C-alpha cells in the first residue's frame, strides 16, 4: 500500500481555500497512491479557538467534508483527515476527530482521547475526549490511529490518567498513523522524535507522523513530518517549515520510504530561530491580507534584525523603514540605518521627531505647569515614533512590526504605544543574547546582505536620554537572560540548560535576582497590550503564560535547584 | 450550631493580606459562633491563574493554611476554607479543594469535581477533578459540601458526564455548604439563585452559599451570598458588592437566619451596571497600588460617564481630566466638559492638540510626500490625545482610563494607541445604548452631581472630521446593539431577549447584518491590544472570547432562529 503524507499550510477557518489545497493533493496522488493522510483539524486549520463555537463553523466545515468524501468516488484514493465532529453525548459539544474515507464512505472515525490544557493549548474548552482505541483494519492491513497529544502521555508525563498508546500495544499493527497540529518551539523537534520513535518501538509498529506547517497568529508549525520503522528507527522526514508531501510503501512486515523523504537533520538553534520567525511573519502577513510592513529603525540590533528578516520573508519591495532621530540619537543611529537599508535595498524615510518633541515639551510645561520628568520625556519620544509609524501604516496599509525583544518585554524596558506599537512582533520571544546569535547567523547565511557590523558592535541603548545605555538600568544581558529564562520557563528547560544557568548565576546575589523577578511581575500590564509575538521558546508571553495584573506575586527562592538532582 | 458566612474581598496572591482578613473574622466570631465558612480559593483569592504553577505559590499558601489551622487552637471556632492542594495522583498537579479545620486539625477535605473550562474559566489548566462526594458528619450534624461549579451540572447543562449533587440526594443532610468564586455578570444573580435553591430542594437540605466579593482585574465578584431552606425557599442574603458577614443558626430540621441577613432583592439592570463597574474600578486601582486616575474628556457620553463613575469610586481628589480640543471639536466639547468637571469638582486641564496636529500634518507631507488621508488625519488626532494622557500618567502616576464602549470596540470604531490608550476600561463591556441607560440612572441616583443634560442629548460623534457623526459610518445604535448582542453572545442570552432582538431586526436586510459581523471579525487585532475591560455581560471581550486574528470567519445566517423554538 502506498501512503502519502500531505504536510500543508492551512488558514484558520478558510474552508474554501483549505478544501482547494486538500482536493489538489487528492487529485494529484489518486493515480499513484492508495491512501493520503492530512493533519489534525486540517479542514479548518489548527487551532480555530472559539470559532469552533460559532454557529457558522460546523455547517461550513461539514460541507467541505462532504465534498472531500464525494471526491473519493471520482479519484480512487483513500483519505485520512482531521475535523471537528459534534459530540452527541454529554460533555463539551465537539470531538477532535479523524476519519478514514474510502470510495465515498467514512469507514472509520476516531476521537482524540487526550486533550491538552496547558501552555498555549486549551482543547478541553471545545472538545470532549474520546474513549475508544483507534484501531481499524483496511485492505488487509491493520492500522492504529492517534491524534497528536494522544502520543504525549507516556514517559514522565503524569498529566493524564490513561495512555492511548497502551491500547495499541501487542495488537500486531502494520502501522500507526498519527495526525498532528504540533507547533514548533525550541527543542520540540528533538522531543517529538524521541517520543514517537519510542511509541513505534513500544507497539512494534512503523509510525507515520503527519503534521501541518505554517504560522497561525503567534503559533508556528514546522511540519517536519516523519516516518519510523517498528524498532523506532527514523527512516526519513519531510522538509521543515514548508509544504511538502511524501510517499511510503507499506506492506505486511515491511515499510519503505520513497525519495520524497529526506534524511532527518536536527536544526541548529540559530537556524531554528530564523526559520520559525520567517515563516511566522510570512504567514501572518499573508493570512491577514496585508502586503507590506513598515519598521522603525533605531540603529540598534533589534530593529535591524527585524528588518533583515522581513526582507527575506516578504521581499525588499514590501518593506519600508523609517528612522526618527531626536537630540539624543547618536550619529550612528541614522548612518547605520542608512547602510542597512542600502544593503537590503529598502526604502528608508527620515523623519526627525525633534520639532514635535520640542513642541510637546513646551506645551506640557504650559498646561501642566511643570517640567516633564525624565520618564515622561523618554516616553514622549517613543510615542511620537509609534505615532509616526502608525501614520505610515494608516496611509499605506503597511503593517507595523514592533521590535521589542523578550528581555525587554520581560522587565518592562519598553514603552506602551511607543516602541510596543505594531500589529505583530517577530523577535519578541527571543532574548537579547539570542537576538545577537540570530543576527550573526543571518550574516553568515546571507553574506551578500549583512546587518552592518557597526550595529552588531554598538552598546545597547534606547537613546532616549543623553549617553543612555541599557546597562544603566538593567544587568548585562549575559546575566539578565539566564535569570529571565529560569524565572519564565525554568520548569520547561532541559536539566543541562538549567544547570548551566545556575552555574552562570552562582555569584549573583539573591536580592538582585529577586529584583529582576519583580520587574517581570510588574510589567504584566504592558505585555497584556502587546501585539501577537511569534512563539519561539518553550513558554512565550501571550496565551502560553496567563498571569493576573492586580496581584501580589509570591517570592521565589532564586537559588532553589531541587529539581536538578 | 451557629454558622457564619464570611464574604470577603481578597487580593490575588496576597497571602499576608488575605490571612489578616481571614484571621480577623476568626477572632471576631470565635466567641459567638461554632463554624465560619469562607469562599473558594480564599487563601489566594479566586482566580490566581498561572501563579498557581509558580514554585513560590504553594509554600506561601500552605504557610498561611498552617497559621489558620493553629489559630483554631487559640480561637475555638471551626473553619471552612478553600485552597489549592497538591494532587498526589495522576492528572494536573493540583486540586481545587476545601477543608474543615477544627481545633488545630483538618477533619475533612473535599476536592472540587467539576472544573469549568468555558467563557472566562480555565480550571482544567491547573486542577485535577476530585472523584469523591463531599459528605462529612460534624458535631451531630451531617453536611454536604460543594465547590461552585459542582452545583452547575444539573438542569439543561450537558457539559458534564456526572452531577455531584446526585451524590448529596437522599442522604439526610442537615445542610449543604457551597463555597464559591462566582463572578457576576448580567443575569447571574437570578440564575445562581434559581440553580442553588433547586439543589436545596432536590437534596431536601438547607443550603449555605458563600461567595467572595471584589474585583480582580477584569472580573468582578458580587458576593450576594445567601441561605435557603430545604424546600429551596430563600431565607436571606448578604449585601451585594461589599464585604459582609452573617450568622445562621442550624439545628436538626431547623435553620434560621439572624438579623445580619437581609431580604434578597434582585438588582435592576442599570444599578447592576453601576455597582459592577464601580467595584471593578475601585479594586483594580487599589490592588494595582495606584491612587489616581486620569480621563480624556471629549464632551461625549462615554468619557463623561467614565469620569462620573470614577469620582464615585475614588473621590474627586483622585480623578483628573484633560480636554484636548482640535479644529474639529465642537464648542460643546469644551464647555460641556467644563460643566461636568465643575459639578463633580474634578480638576480639568485644557490642552489643545491643534498646534501639534498642524505640525504633524506638515511634517507628514514633507517626509512622505503626500497629503495624509482622512483616516490618517483622524488617527493622528486620536493618538496625540492618547500620548498626552500618557504624559500626564508618566508624570503623576495616575492610571489612564480608556473610554471605548462595547459597540465601538466590537466594530473597531476606535483607534489603537489613540482612544484605546489606558490601563483599564470600565465601560468597555457596555453597549452604547447601555451607556445611556447607565448615565440616566447615574443622574437619578446622584441628582446633586448629574452628568450635564447637553452631554446626554448630543448626537454621538468622534469629532475627528468636519461635522462627523457616528451614524455616518455606523448604523444607529438602537439597531447596531441588538445585532452585536446576538452575534457576540446570542447563545448565552435568555430566549425572551433574543426574541426581542430578532423582532427589532426583522426589517434589516441580511447583507447589512453580515457587514456588521465582518466588522466585528476584522477588529479582533485591535481588541487583542485592549487594556482589561470590566466584565459586565454574559460574554465579554478578553479571556471569555478567544478568537484568531489571521483567519477567515465563517458566515452566519443572521435570520437563524432555530434555537428560539
**Cβ contacts of B375 on chain A, cutoff 8 Å:** 394-395
Per-residue model confidence (pLDDT) at position B556: 85
The rounded radius of gyration (Å) of the Cα atoms in chain B is 26
Reported in sequence order, the residue ranges of B329-378 that DSSP labels E, i.e. its strands, are: 347-350
Calculate how close chain B gets to A366, using CA atoms only, in Å: 9
Q: Nearest CB to B391: which of A359, A376, A560?
A: A376
Helix (H) / strand (E) element for A190: namely helix A188-203
Residue B34 has pLDDT above 80, yes or no: yes
pLDDT digits (tens, 9 = 90+) for B107-126: 999 999 999 999 999 999 99
Asked if residue B502 has pLDDT above 70, the reply is yes
Task: Read off the DSSP letter of residue B542.
Answer: B
pLDDT of residue A75: 97
Residue B419 at interface with chain A, using a CB cutoff of 8 Å: no
Chain B contact for A380 (CB, 8 A cutoff)? yes
Task: Find cell 529571565 and name the residue.
Answer: A484
In this complex, the residue of B355, B528, B547 whose CB is nearest that of residue A532 is B528
CA A544/CA A554 separation, integer angstroms: 20
Asked if A148 is an active-site residue, the reply is yes
My answer on whether B310 and B425 are in the same domain is yes
Which H helix or E strand runs over B177? strand B175-180
Q: What is the pLDDT of residue B474?
A: 78
Q: Number of C-alpha atoms within 13 angstroms, CB side, residue B242?
A: 7
- Evaluate if residue B546 carries a pLDDT over 70: yes
In DSSP terms, B79 is beta-bridged to B36, B101
Nearest CA in chain A to B521: A51
Q: Do B363 and A375 touch (CB under 8 A)?
A: no
CB contact (8 A) between residue A11 and residue B55: no
One domain, residues B434 and B416: yes
- E-strand ranges in A274-422 read 293-297, 319-323, 347-350, 399-402
A453-499: pLDDT as tens digits: 999 999 888 888 888 888 888 789 999 999 999 999 999 999 999 99
CB contact under 8 A, A553 and B375: no
For the purposes of burial, counting CB atoms within 10 Å of the CB of B330, is it exposed (0-12), middle (13-18) or buried (19 or more)? middle
Q: Do B395 and A376 touch (CB under 8 A)?
A: yes
- CA-to-CA distance for B554 and A60, rounded, in angstroms? 7
Q: Which has the closest alpha carbon to A439: A424, A458, A422? A: A458
**Selected catalytic residue, list A11, A85, A123, A148:** A148
Please answer whether residues B498 and B394 qualify as being in contact, where contact means their C-beta atoms are separated by less than 8 angstroms. no
Q: Which of B372, B528, B547 sits opposite A49 (nearest CB)?
A: B547
CATH (domain of A14): 3.60.110.10
Residue at A111 is within a domain: yes
Last residue of a domain, one of B215, B240, B267: B267
A266 in a structural domain: no
Joined grid coordinates for residue A308: 533583515
**CA pseudo-torsion sign B85, A495, A428, A318:** negative
With respect to residue A560, please indicate whether it lies within any of the assigned structural domains: yes
Measured at the CA of A442, the angle between CA A439 and CA A447, to 5 degrees, comes to 125
Count of domains for chain A: 2
- Write down the pLDDT at residue B468: 84
State whether A339 and A456 are in the same domain.
Answer: yes
Q: Is residue A173 part of a domain?
A: yes
Q: Is A355–B359 a contact, with Cβ atoms under 8 angstroms apart?
A: yes
* A387–B550 C-beta distance less than 8 A: no
Average pLDDT over residues B216-238: 97
Q: Are residues B245 and B379 in the same domain?
A: no
Interface of A with B in 7-66 (CB under 8 A): 11-15, 17, 45, 47-51, 53-57, 59-61
A125 at interface of B, judged by CB pairs closer than 8 A: yes
Question: Out of B11, B21, B85, B148, which one is annotated catalytic?
Answer: B148
Q: Which residues pair with A36 in a beta bridge?
A: A4, A79
Distance (Å, whole) CA B14 – CA B545: 28
Distances (CA, A) of B486 to A51, B490, B497: 15, 4, 9
Q: Does A514 touch chain B (CB under 8 A)?
A: no
Kindly state whether residues B257 and B343 are assigned to the same domain: no
Query: Which H, E and C letters describe A4-31, residue by residue?
Result: EEEECCCCECCHHHHHHHHHHHHHHHCC
- Compute the mean pLDDT over every residue in chain B, rounded to the nearest whole number: 95
Active site residue B40: yes
Domain identity same for B316 and B200:
no
Q: Is B363 on the interface with A (CB under 8 A)?
A: yes
**The cell 455616518 sits on which residue?**
B472
Q: Which residues of chain A have pLDDT under 70?
A: 559-565
**Is A385 in the same domain as A364?**
yes
Using the Cα atoms of residue B91, residue B92, residue B98 and residue B104 in order, give the sign of their dihedral. Answer: positive
- pLDDT at res. B563: 53
A512 at interface of B, judged by CB pairs closer than 8 A: no
pLDDT of residue A565: 47
Do A548 and B91 lie within an 8 Å CB cutoff?
A: no
Q: Are residues A438 and A410 in the same domain?
A: yes
In a domain, A484, yes or no: yes
Query: Do A198 and A297 share a structural domain?
Result: no
Q: How far apart are CA B225 and CA B82, in angstroms?
A: 15
Rounded average pLDDT over B309-313: 98
Name the minimum distance, in Å, from the CA of B317 to any CA of chain A: 16
**Do B88 and B101 share a structural domain?**
yes
Do A407 and A520 sit in the same domain of this protein?
Answer: yes
pLDDT at residue B565, rounded to an integer: 47
- Residue B433: which CATH number? 3.40.50.620
pLDDT at B560 over 80: no
Per-residue pLDDT reduced to its tens digit, B369-418: 999 999 999 999 999 999 999 999 999 999 999 999 999 999 999 999 99
ipTM (interface predicted TM): 0.95
Q: Are B263 and B294 within one domain?
A: no
Residue A554's φ and ψ, nearest 5 degrees, are -60, 140
HSE at residue A462, side-chain half, CA atoms within 13 A, is: 25
Q: Answer whether B367 sits within 8 Å of A350, measured CB to CB.
A: yes
Q: Which domain holds residue B414?
A: 271-564
Confidence tier at B266 by pLDDT (50, 70, 90): confident
Amino acid at each position: 500500500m502506498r501512503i502519502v503524507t500531505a504536510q500543508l499550510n492551512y488558514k484558520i477557518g478558510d474552508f474554501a481555500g483549505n478544501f482547494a489545497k486538500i482536493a489538489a493533493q487528492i487529485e494529484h496522488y489518486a493515480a499513484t497512491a492508495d491512501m493520503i493522510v492530512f493533519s489534525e483539524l486540517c479542514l479548518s486549520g489548527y487551532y480555530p479557538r472559539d470559532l469552533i463555537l460559532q454557529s457558522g463553523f460546523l455547517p461550513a466545515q461539514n460541507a467541505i467534508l462532504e465534498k472531500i468524501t464525494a471526491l473519493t468516488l471520482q479519484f480512487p484514493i483513500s483519505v485520512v483527515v482531521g475535523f471537528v465532529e459534534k459530540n452527541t453525548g454529554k460533555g463539551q459539544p465537539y470531538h477532535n476527530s479523524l476519519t478514514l474515507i474510502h470510495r465515498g464512505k467514512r469507514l472509520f472515525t476516531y476521537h482524540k482521547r487526550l486533550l491538552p490544557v496547558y501552555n498555549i493549548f486549551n482543547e478541553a474548552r471545545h472538545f470532549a475526549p474520546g474513549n475508544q482505541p483507534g484501531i481499524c483494519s483496511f485492505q488487509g492491513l491493520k492500522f492504529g490511529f492517534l491524534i497528536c497529544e494522544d502520543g504525549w502521555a507516556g514517559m514522565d508525563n503524569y498529566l493524564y490518567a490513561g495512555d492511548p498508546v497502551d491500547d495499541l500495544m501487542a495488537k500486531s499493527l502494520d502501522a500507526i498513523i498519527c495526525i498532528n497540529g504540533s507547533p514548533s518551539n525550541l527543542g520540540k523537534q528533538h522531543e517529538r522524535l524521541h517520543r514517537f520513535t519510542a511509541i513505534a518501538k513500544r507497539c512494534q509498529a512503523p509510525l507515520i507522523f503527519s503534521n501541518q506547517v505554517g504560522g497561525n497568529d503567534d503559533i508556528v508549525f514546522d511540519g517536519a513530518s516523519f516516518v519510523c520503522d517498528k524498532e523506532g528507527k527514523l527512516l526519513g522526514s519531510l522538509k521543515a517549515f514548508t509544504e511538502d508531501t511524501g510517499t511510503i510503501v507499506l506492506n505486511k512486515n515491511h515499510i519503505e520510504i520513497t525519495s520524497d523523504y529526506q534524511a532527518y537533520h536536527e536544526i541548529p538553534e540559530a537556524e531554528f530561530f530564523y526559520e520559525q520567525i520567517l515563516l511566522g511573519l510570512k504567514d501572518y502577513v499573508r493570512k491577514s491580507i496585508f502586503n507590506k510592513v513598515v519598521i522603525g529603525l533605531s540603529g540598534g540590533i533589534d530593529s535591524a534584525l527585524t528588518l533583515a528578516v522581513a526582507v527575506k520573508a516578504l521581499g525588499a519591495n514590501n518593506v519600508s523603514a523609517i528612522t526618527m532621530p531626536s537630540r539624543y540619537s547618536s550619529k550612528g543611529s541614522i548612518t547605520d540605518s542608512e547602510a542597512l537599508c542600502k544593503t537590503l535595498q529598502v526604502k528608508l524615510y527620515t523623519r526627525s521627531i525633534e520639532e514635535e518633541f520640542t513642541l510637546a515639551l513646551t506645551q506640557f510645561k504650559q498646561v501642566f505647569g511643570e517640567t516633564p520628568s525624565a520618564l515622561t520625556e523618554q516616553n514622549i519620544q517613543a510615542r511620537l515614533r509609534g505615532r509616526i509609524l502608525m501614520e505610515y501604516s494608516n496611509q499605506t496599509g503597511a503593517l507595523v512590526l514592533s521590535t521589542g525583544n523578550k528581555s525587554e518585554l520581560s522587565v518592562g524596558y519598553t514603552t506602551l504605544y511607543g516602541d510596543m506599537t505594531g500589529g505583530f512582533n517577530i523577535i519578541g520571544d527571543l532574548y537579547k543574547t539570542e537576538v545577537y546569535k540570530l543576527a550573526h547567523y543571518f550574516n553568515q547565511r546571507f553574506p551578500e546582505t549583512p546587518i552592518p557590523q557597526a550595529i552588531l558592535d554598538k552598546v545597547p541603548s534606547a537613546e532616549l536620554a543623553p549617553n543612555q545605555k541599557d546597562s544603566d538600568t538593567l544587568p548585562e544581558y549575559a546575566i539578565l537572560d539566564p535569570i529571565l529564562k529560569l524565572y519564565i520557563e525554568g520548569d520547561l528547560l532541559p536539566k543541562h540548560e538549567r544547570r548551566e544557568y545556575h552555574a552562570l548565576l552562582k555569584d549573583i546575589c539573591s536580592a538582585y535576582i529577586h529584583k529582576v523577578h519583580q520587574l517581570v511581575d510588574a510589567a504584566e500590564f504592558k505585555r497584556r497590550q502587546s501585539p501577537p509575538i511569534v512563539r519561539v521558546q518553550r513558554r512565550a508571553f501571550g496565551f502560553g503564560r496567563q498571569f493576573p495584573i492586580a496581584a501580589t506575586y509570591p517570592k521565589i527562592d532564586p537559588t532553589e535547584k531541587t529539581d536538578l538532582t
